[in-house]
């Protein structure tokens, strides 16, 4: 990743850079793009501004730089500056890797 993308997620959404999957298995078999599984982990790049019912700002459980577990089929994939990112609701994240 060369620089921070020029986007800020809205509301309770989180911008994540998914971890790239390996293209070769341990046995040396090359995996084509069509057969790769969607990445399940990624790095938080930016967070929106989460608010409660009264409009007060609520802190996120994650912060930029955290490595998180992503839902397999959740979120929206976007492409910015030749990088593929995923925008996910914060409550859809499965966990933080420590």
- Which residue has 């089929």 as its token pair? 73
What is the reported pLDDT for 47? 94
Residue 92 phi, psi dihedral angles, 5° rounding:
-85, -15
Q: pTM here?
A: 0.77
What is the reported pLDDT for 46? 94
- From first to last of its 98 residues, the chain has per-residue pLDDT tens of 456 778 899 999 999 999 876 555 566 666 665 545 555 899 999 999 999 899 899 999 999 999 999 988 888 999 988 899 999 999 999 999 98
What is the reported pLDDT for 56? 93
For 2, left (φ over 0), alpha (ψ -120 to 50), or beta?
A: alpha
What is the reported pLDDT for 24? 54
What is the reported pLDDT for 30? 65
Show the domains of the chain with their CATH numbers: 13-93 (2.30.33.40)
């Amino acid at each position: 990743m060369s620089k921070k993308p020029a986007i800020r997620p809205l509301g309770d959404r989180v911008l994540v850079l998914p971890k790239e999957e390996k293209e070769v298995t341990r046995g040396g078999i090359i995996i084509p793009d069509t057969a790769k599984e969607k990445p399940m982990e990624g790095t938080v790049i930016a967070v929106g501004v989460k608010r409660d019912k009264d409009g007060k700002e609520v802190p996120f459980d994650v912060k930029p730089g955290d490595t998180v577990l992503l839902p397999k089929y959740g979120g929206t994939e976007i492409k910015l500056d030749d990088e593929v990112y995923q925008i996910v609701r914060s409550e859809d994240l499965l966990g933080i890797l420590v």
